[in-house]
Amino acid sequence: MHKYLVKRMLMMIPTLLGAAVLVFFLMQMIPGDICALRYAGSGGTFDASQIARCRVELGLDRPIFVQFFEWIGGFFIGDFGTSMWTDRSVAEEIGPRAVLSLQVAIMATIVSVCIAIPLGTISAIRQNTWIDYVVRGLSIAGIAMPSFWLGILIMLGLLWASNYFLGYGWIPPIQYVSPLEDPIGNVTQLIWPALATGYRYSAVATRMTRSALLEVLREDYIRTARAKGVIEKLVVNRHALKNSMLPVITVIGIEFAFLMGGLVVTEQVFNLNGLGKLFVDSVTNHDYTMTQALVMLVAFIFVMMNIAIDVMYAWLDPRIRYS
């Protein structure tokens, strides 16, 4: 297992390097210039020499390969660079946003698991009954409905309900507070985006739980367990559910990684200062170093999640041995 993990970690290097090459050169292909945006983007009169000086300061006047090797060299020594837009270190910019995104991802995952596993299980063991149809309907609706749209509906619903019941409009806070400073305020703000994204996320996991469980329930060992007189609850919980979790874990893991950087629109709807919003802002501002660092971070999270999923496989199914 240890050898396997080391091998997987080493394989991560070419994967990340490939991502680095792709993102660096793709970013260069986007027309536009961070310096022109900074000085000309507000519509006022500007001094052309400012733009030229800005390009020199940011090193954009150097050959593209020099820029690439300097950037990638920094990565190997743990220097992720400085944001071209704010001139702050990339780590300083990403840090607080990563905390927020991680918290939303964890909360959304909890929401998702709490919905998906019970509903998927009920739907499978009550296959083709009205419960199954309702669960399937809910999960199809979850897949079809973008989470940001659900977020907008939640916000409007909160406004309507608070006006109706309290007599004044109420929406969640739009200013982030740390859970260490104000846990209630923090949850009051983040529970809504977690619900909006968790529901969509749960829809995929519910369907996966249902289909995986249905498949396992048809296995010989389940029939054997039933023939031996094991009660149905134990058959499902102890024998079937655990063995059906492999594909579900994969879905949950991949979705978790996606949530860390992919909540672009939902973050905008709830004014969350997370990684998704930072990603959009940095692309809009042509902040190459920040965009590249974010892509590398998300790629790293995906790779790590995949390794974690593989480790979970071995734990869930002892027949799986990595060597």
Partner 1 sequence: MQGFRAALAAAVGASAMLGAGVANADDKPIYGGEFTFVVPANAPPSFDAHRETTYAVIHPVRPFYSTLLRVNPENPGDPSDFVCDLCVGDVPEGTNDGKTYTFKLHEGVKFHDGAPLTSADIKASFDRIIFPPEGVSSARKSFYQMVDSIDTPDPATVVFNLKFASSAFIPALAAPYNFIYSKAKLDVDQHWYEKNILGSGPFIFKEYQPGAFMTGDKNPDYYLKGLPYLDKITAIFANKESVQVQALRGNRASAQFRGFPPKVRDDLVAALGDKVTVQETDWNCVLLATPNHDRPPFNDVRVRRALTLAVDRWGGSEYLSKIAIVKTVGGLVYPKHSLAATKDELEALDGYRPDLEASRAKARELLKEAGVDLSKTYIYNNRGVDQPYKVVGVWLIDQWRQIGLNFEQKVQPTGPFYATLRESRDFDVSADFNCQSIVNPPIDTSKYLSSDVNPANYSGIVDRKMDALYEAMLLEADPAKQRMKMREYEKYVLHDEVTQLITLWWYRTTVHRSHFKGWKVSPSHYLGQALDTVWLDPSVDK
What is the closest distance, in whole angstroms, from the C-beta atom of residue 75 to partner 1 in the complex? 22
In this complex, which beta carbon is closest to partner 1, that of residue 102 or of residue 113?
102
What is the closest distance, in whole angstroms, from the C-beta atom of residue 38 to partner 1 in the complex? 6
What is the closest distance, in whole angstroms, from the C-beta atom of residue 8 to partner 1 in the complex? 34
What is the closest distance, in whole angstroms, from the C-beta atom of residue 54 to partner 1 in the complex? 7
In this complex, which beta carbon is closest to partner 1, that of residue 10 or of residue 29?
29
In this complex, which beta carbon is closest to partner 1, that of residue 80 or of residue 256?
80
In this complex, which beta carbon is closest to partner 1, that of residue 172 or of residue 247?
172
- Residue 62 main-chain phi, psi, to 5 deg: -85, 160
Rg (C-alpha) for the chain, rounded Å, is: 24
What is the closest distance, in whole angstroms, from the C-beta atom of residue 43 to partner 1 in the complex? 4
Q: How far apart are CA 263 and CA 265, in angstroms?
A: 6
Alpha-carbon distances of 179 from 103, 162, 196, rounded to whole Å: 9, 25, 20
User: What is the contact surface with partner 1 in residues (CB under 8 A)?
Assistant: 30-33, 36-48, 50-51, 53-54, 57, 85-88, 92-93, 96-97, 152, 155, 158-159, 162, 168-171, 173-176, 268-271, 273, 277-278, 281, 284-286
Q: Pick from 251, 245, 219: which is nearest to 315 by CA?
A: 245
121's tokens: 């299980």
Q: Which residues contact 240 (CB under 8 A, 6 or more apart)?
A: 213, 216, 217, 219, 222
Which long-range CB contacts under 8 A does 312-320 form with residues at least 24 apart?
312/249, 312/253, 313/246, 313/249, 314/1, 316/242, 316/243, 316/245, 316/246, 316/249, 317/243, 317/246
What is the closest distance, in whole angstroms, from the C-beta atom of residue 161 to partner 1 in the complex? 12
Q: How far apart are CA 277 and CA 27, in angstroms?
A: 17
What is the closest distance, in whole angstroms, from the C-beta atom of residue 66 to partner 1 in the complex? 21
Q: Which residues contact 214 (CB under 8 A, 6 or more apart)?
A: 124, 127
- Residue 187 main-chain phi, psi, to 5 deg: -70, -40
What is the closest distance, in whole angstroms, from the C-beta atom of residue 46 to partner 1 in the complex? 6
What is the closest distance, in whole angstroms, from the C-beta atom of residue 158 to partner 1 in the complex? 8
Q: Pick from 182, 173, 174, 193: which is nearest to 103 by CA?
A: 193
